[in-house]
């Protein structure tokens, strides 16, 4: 028993001396913070980083700010992380690509409006390095009805092609708003047959005094929204939108009527409309936009068009956005000269199916260093059409067709345990280099999905299913330029070991149960963050037996006791730096690991042994009743000596365990107390 007393004293003194030696050698807050960070004592490290950054000489320390920013972001202290990223920027250091991404995610977490600007810069930097990569994906062809003049905005319909061409007309004064390319535009139609294209003919619209016709957008087979400029009494003449319907008996577009969105103060043009005719996209130079011309959307409600909605800074820029086109599967194409691109107007697209989708530059060879615009897409034959002035140094616009080379990809999903088909899963397929989500479609079987991939790309695929572990695949299509190539993969999802964990909380200050706190549960293995709002003294959550967690409070109170109420599991609260004195600093983060006990099991409540502590200074003893899972604690005073007995038998200390003939006693650190769990 005396040996135990000596060991306890030595452990206390050695811990104190060790801590003093460490920080005698560490001569700066930064080094101390680095030490705690490496030991996973994140809360202590974060506080020291924050303290170091209060010193003026450290404000421009790039390394310090970067480490602090990463840690603050990890701990959801986003405002502090934001300041650190801005310190790096304003100190004259360029943010790396990863820094910029982390900065963007930090701003987005606090809904900072600067997030969109940062995102644009980050994505554009990546895009510029990849614009020529897509040359493997597209085949470009001239259309046969190009002339020495300008042809633009092709749209395929009725087994033919509608497009806009400019005519010389010197009898009319050219004085109307220049949303168009200039000239006096008319719409032509060329029929396609098995032997080729017919000669193009002018499309007749039953409207007088028209200076300009086109582009045109179709819906419901025989209906359209057409762009007109009509000669009026006052100049300048504005571009306007008109609805039209095709009269098959007269072979003529008739019943033109102005759309209610037209305005004498600004132009409204370049229509695009959804297949059902309920959403209308258009271009306007109205006041309140982001630049010269912006793209707007209006929704048809009870037969009337809603007020225009600007599509926002993700699409619109300080430059000009023009020529929108909406595909049947909800992808919006448009041209812009205000984004990072190849020069002039570039063609971009954005998929409205995804909430957080990004704008993508179509790259070379669809885009060139001059103007590329008027894009349309045929979903049935997977071909597209566009116009460009890339020839003759921009002297005229010509029509082009493109086809896509594809790598066919199919994926099958199975249960790893019984190898049976899995259904009810979700799949996220992402262009790994551009971070673009790719649409997947169901395959012929319930456990299968298919997608068309681009040659010369890398992709990341993540498969999700409730109660199963996520699985990630990396897919490369380099070397698969031919469209006949196919990639087939199978994924075997492993079932999670999910257990209900009961978390118990006590205040650091009052030692009482506390409630109303916000608890953050950070899954370090899968890099996910969950929250518990307004918790009471206990909270039940599901934890994965194969994952590690960081659990922390956000209201100033620190977590005192956390354990899992399950007989076959134990919890370890690992804290890298501590001493055994009452009143020592309590870490605000416990590093939690749920691990299955194979060789031990928790003490049953009916068989809880007698725990006795002998106080040598006061010459008395007191008994302790272990709590749930055999957990108990001892208050350690620095001027007293103790003995620990289990069923009146002395306990020996070995490392962080106390050895007993009948029980395995695990040490759980809780600042100024020694806390143990009894296990057989």
With vertex at residue 183, the alpha carbon angle to CA 181 and CA 189, rounded to the nearest 5 degrees, is 85
Helical (H) or strand (E) element with 67: helix 62-74
- Pull the structure tokens for residue 554: 């956000």
Higher per-residue pLDDT: 255 or 289: 289
| Structure confidence at residue 170 (pLDDT) | 41
The answer to whether residues 285 and 292 touch, using CB atoms and an 8 Å cutoff, is: yes
Q: Do residues 54 and 177 both lie within one domain? A: no
Q: Which among 100, 129, 158 is the end of a domain? A: 129
Residue 454: CATH number of its domain: 2.60.40
| Structure confidence at residue 269 (pLDDT) | 92
Out of 103-107, 206-210, 385-389, 444-448, give the one with best mean pLDDT. 385-389
Q: Which among 549, 573, 598 is the end of a domain? A: 598
Res 527 pLDDT > 60: yes
Residues 6 or more apart whose CB falls under 8 angstroms from that of 274 comprise 219, 280, 326
Q: Do residues 583 and 655 both lie within one domain? A: no
| Structure confidence at residue 7 (pLDDT) | 43
Give the phi and the psi of residue 401 in degrees, each rounded to 5. -115, 145
Residues 6 or more apart whose CB falls under 8 angstroms from that of 347 comprise 333, 334, 335, 361, 362, 366, 367, 372, 373, 375, 386
Omega cis (within 30) before 215: yes
Number of CB atoms found within 10 A of residue 332's CB: 22
Number of CB atoms found within 10 A of residue 442's CB: 10
Higher per-residue pLDDT: 8 or 347: 347
Res 261 pLDDT > 90: yes
Residues 6 or more apart whose CB falls under 8 angstroms from that of 17 comprise none
Of 196, 152, 493, which is closest to residue 325 (Cα–Cα)? 152
| Structure confidence at residue 66 (pLDDT) | 85
Q: Do residues 73 and 102 both lie within one domain? A: yes
Res 519 pLDDT > 60: yes
Measured CA to CA, the distance from residue 230 to residue 238 in angstroms comes to: 8
Measured CA to CA, the distance from residue 367 to residue 387 in angstroms comes to: 10
Res 591 pLDDT > 50: no
With vertex at residue 148, the alpha carbon angle to CA 144 and CA 154, rounded to the nearest 5 degrees, is 50
Q: Is the pTM of this model over 0.75?
A: no
Domain membership flag for residue 373: no
Domain span including residue 502: 496-598
Residues 6 or more apart whose CB falls under 8 angstroms from that of 664 comprise 600, 657, 678, 679, 680
Average pLDDT estimate for 452-475: 85
Measured CA to CA, the distance from residue 23 to residue 36 in angstroms comes to: 11
Name the residue with tokens 């409309």.
273
| Structure confidence at residue 375 (pLDDT) | 94
Q: Do residues 589 and 635 both lie within one domain? A: no
Residues in the chain: 680
| Structure confidence at residue 334 (pLDDT) | 96
Q: Do residues 293 and 429 both lie within one domain? A: no
- Pull the structure tokens for residue 72: 């603050």
Lowest mean pLDDT, pick from 30-44, 348-362, 572-586? 572-586
Res 337 pLDDT > 60: yes
- Pull the structure tokens for residue 569: 């599991």
| Structure confidence at residue 8 (pLDDT) | 42
Question: pLDDT grade, residue 19 (50/70/90)?
Answer: very low
| Structure confidence at residue 421 (pLDDT) | 87
Q: Which among 287, 317, 332 is the end of a domain? A: 332
Domain membership flag for residue 525: yes
Judge residue 622's burial from the number of C-beta atoms within 10 Å of its C-beta, 0-12 exposed, 13-18 middle, 19 or more buried.
exposed
What region does 86 belong to: left with phi over 0, alpha with psi -120 to 50, or beta?
Answer: alpha
Q: Cα 554 vs. chain centroid, distance in angstroms?
A: 24
Average pLDDT estimate for 643-667: 58
Res 565 pLDDT > 50: no
Number of CB atoms found within 10 A of residue 365's CB: 18
Question: pLDDT grade, residue 9 (50/70/90)?
Answer: very low
Res 503 pLDDT > 50: yes
- Pull the structure tokens for residue 182: 């200039």
The answer to whether residues 68 and 49 touch, using CB atoms and an 8 Å cutoff, is: yes
Higher per-residue pLDDT: 109 or 490: 490
Lowest mean pLDDT, pick from 378-382, 478-482, 645-649, 667-671? 667-671
For residue 13, give the 3-state DSSP assignment.
Answer: helix
**Pairing label, strands 196-197, 631-635:** unpaired
Question: pLDDT grade, residue 123 (50/70/90)?
Answer: low
Average pLDDT estimate for 393-410: 82
The answer to whether residues 244 and 260 touch, using CB atoms and an 8 Å cutoff, is: no
- Pull the structure tokens for residue 660: 């007993």
Measured CA to CA, the distance from residue 631 to residue 561 in angstroms comes to: 10
Domain membership flag for residue 366: no
Of 475, 468, 423, which is closest to residue 451 (Cα–Cα)? 475
Average pLDDT estimate for 119-132: 59
| Structure confidence at residue 626 (pLDDT) | 64
DSSP state, residue 601? -
Q: What is the percent of the chain with per-residue pLDDT over 70, rounded to a whole number?
A: 61
| Structure confidence at residue 617 (pLDDT) | 53
Q: What is the DSSP string of 76-134?
A: T-HHHHHHHHHHHHHTTPPPPHHHHHHHHHHHHHTT-THHHHHHHHHHHHHHHTTGGGG
Q: What is the percent of the chain with per-residue pLDDT over 90, rounded to a whole number?
A: 13
Domain membership flag for residue 350: no
Question: pLDDT grade, residue 241 (50/70/90)?
Answer: very high
Q: Do residues 81 and 46 both lie within one domain? A: yes
| Structure confidence at residue 492 (pLDDT) | 93
Average pLDDT estimate for 287-293: 89
Res 116 pLDDT > 80: no
Higher per-residue pLDDT: 293 or 622: 293
Residue 34: CATH number of its domain: 1.25.40.10
Q: Do residues 166 and 285 both lie within one domain? A: yes
Domain membership flag for residue 359: no
Average pLDDT estimate for 570-584: 29
Q: Do residues 299 and 442 both lie within one domain? A: no
Average pLDDT estimate for 230-257: 78
Question: pLDDT grade, residue 356 (50/70/90)?
Answer: low
Measured CA to CA, the distance from residue 539 to residue 537 in angstroms comes to: 7
Question: pLDDT grade, residue 131 (50/70/90)?
Answer: low
Q: Do residues 561 and 624 both lie within one domain? A: no
Res 557 pLDDT > 60: no
Q: Do residues 92 and 191 both lie within one domain? A: no
Res 117 pLDDT > 80: no
Judge residue 510's burial from the number of C-beta atoms within 10 Å of its C-beta, 0-12 exposed, 13-18 middle, 19 or more buried.
exposed
| Structure confidence at residue 589 (pLDDT) | 32
Domain membership flag for residue 308: yes
**Pairing label, strands 407-415, 486-493:** parallel
Question: pLDDT grade, residue 672 (50/70/90)?
Answer: very low
Measured CA to CA, the distance from residue 576 to residue 656 in angstroms comes to: 12
Domain membership flag for residue 12: no
Measured CA to CA, the distance from residue 558 to residue 508 in angstroms comes to: 6
Res 635 pLDDT > 60: no
Q: Do residues 593 and 605 both lie within one domain? A: no
Give the phi and the psi of residue 552 in degrees, each rounded to 5. -145, 160
The answer to whether residues 505 and 512 touch, using CB atoms and an 8 Å cutoff, is: no
Domain membership flag for residue 95: yes
Question: pLDDT grade, residue 394 (50/70/90)?
Answer: low
If one counts the domains in the chain, the total is: 5
Q: Do residues 157 and 270 both lie within one domain? A: yes
Average pLDDT estimate for 569-579: 31
Helical (H) or strand (E) element with 245: strand 239-247
């Amino acid at each position: 028993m005396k040996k135990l007393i000596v060991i306890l004293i030595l452990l206390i003194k050695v811990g104190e001396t060790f801590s003093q030696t460490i920080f005698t050698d560490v001569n700066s807050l930064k080094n101390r913070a680095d030490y705690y960070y490496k030991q996973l004592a994140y809360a202590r490290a974060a506080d020291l980083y924050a303290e170091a950054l209060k010193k003026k000489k450290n404000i421009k320390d790039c390394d310090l700010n970067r480490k602090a920013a990463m840690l603050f972001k990890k701990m959801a202290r986003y405002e502090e992380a934001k300041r650190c990223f801005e310190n790096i920027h304003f100190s004259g250091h360029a943010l790396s690509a990863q820094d910029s991404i982390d900065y963007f995610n930090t701003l987005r977490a606090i809904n900072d409006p600067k997030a969109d600007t940062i995102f644009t810069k980050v994505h554009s930097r990546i895009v510029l390095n990849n614009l020529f990569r897509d040359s493997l994906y597209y085949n470009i062809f001239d259309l046969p009805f190009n002339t020495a003049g300008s042809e633009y905005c092709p749209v395929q319909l009725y087994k033919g092609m509608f497009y806009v061409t400019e005519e010389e007309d010197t009898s009319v004064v050219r004085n109307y708003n220049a949303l168009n390319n200039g000239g006096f535009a008319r719409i032509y139609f060329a029929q396609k047959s098995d032997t080729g294209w017919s000669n193009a003919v002018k499309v007749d619209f039953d409207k007088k005094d028209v200076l300009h016709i086109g582009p045109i957008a179709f819906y419901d087979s025989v209906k359209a929204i057409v762009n007109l400029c009509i000669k009026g009494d006052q100049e300048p003449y504005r571009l306007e939108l008109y609805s039209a319907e095709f009269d098959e008996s007269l072979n003529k577009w008739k019943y033109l009527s102005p759309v209610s969105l037209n305005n004498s103060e600004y132009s409204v043009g370049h229509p695009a409309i959804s297949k059902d005719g309920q959403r209308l996209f258009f271009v306007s130079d109205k006041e309140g936009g982001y630049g010269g011309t912006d793209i707007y959307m209006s929704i048809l409600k009870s037969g009337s068009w809603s007020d225009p909605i600007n599509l926002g800074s993700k699409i619109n820029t300080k430059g000009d956005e023009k020529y929108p086109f909406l595909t049947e599967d909800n992808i919006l194409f448009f041209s812009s000269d205000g984004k990072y691109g190849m020069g002039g107007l570039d063609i971009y697209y954005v998929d409205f199916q995804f909430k957080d989708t990004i704008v993508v530059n179509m790259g070379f060879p669809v885009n060139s260093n001059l103007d590329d615009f008027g894009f349309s897409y045929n979903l049935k034959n997977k071909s597209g059409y566009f116009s460009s002035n890339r020839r003759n140094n921009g002297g005229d616009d010509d029509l082009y067709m493109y086809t896509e080379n594809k790598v066919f990809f199919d994926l099958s999903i199975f249960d790893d345990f019984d190898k049976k088909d899995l259904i009810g899963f979700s799949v996220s397929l992402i262009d790994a280099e551009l971070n673009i989500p790719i649409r997947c479609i169901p395959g012929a079987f319930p456990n299968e999905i298919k997608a068309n991939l681009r040659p010369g790309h890398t992709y990341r695929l993540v498969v999700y299913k409730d109660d199963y572990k996520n699985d990630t695949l990396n897919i490369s299509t380099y070397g698969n330029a031919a469209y006949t190539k196919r990639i087939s993969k199978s994924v075997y999802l492993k079932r999670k070991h999910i257990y209900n964990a009961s978390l118990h909380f006590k205040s650091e200050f009052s030692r009482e149960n506390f409630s109303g706190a916000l608890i953050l549960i950070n899954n370090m293995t899968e890099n996910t963050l969950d929250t518990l709002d307004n918790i009471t003294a206990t909270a039940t959550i599901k934890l994965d037996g194969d994952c590690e967690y960081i659990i922390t409070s956000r209201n100033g109170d620190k977590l005192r006791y956390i354990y899992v109420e399950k007989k076959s599991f134990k919890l370890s609260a690992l804290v890298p730096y501590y001493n055994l004195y009452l009143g020592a600093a309590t870490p605000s983060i416990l590093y939690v690991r749920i691990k299955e006990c194979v060789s031990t099991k928790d003490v049953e409540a009916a068989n809880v042994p007698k725990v006795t502590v002998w106080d040598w200074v006061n010459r008395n003893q007191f008994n302790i009743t272990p709590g749930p899972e055999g957990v108990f604690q001892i208050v350690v005073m620095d001027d007293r000596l103790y003995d620990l007995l289990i069923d009146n038998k002395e306990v020996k200390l070995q490392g962080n365990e106390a050895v007993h003939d009948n029980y395995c006693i695990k040490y759980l650190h809780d600042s100024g107390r020694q806390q143990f769990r009894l296990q057989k």
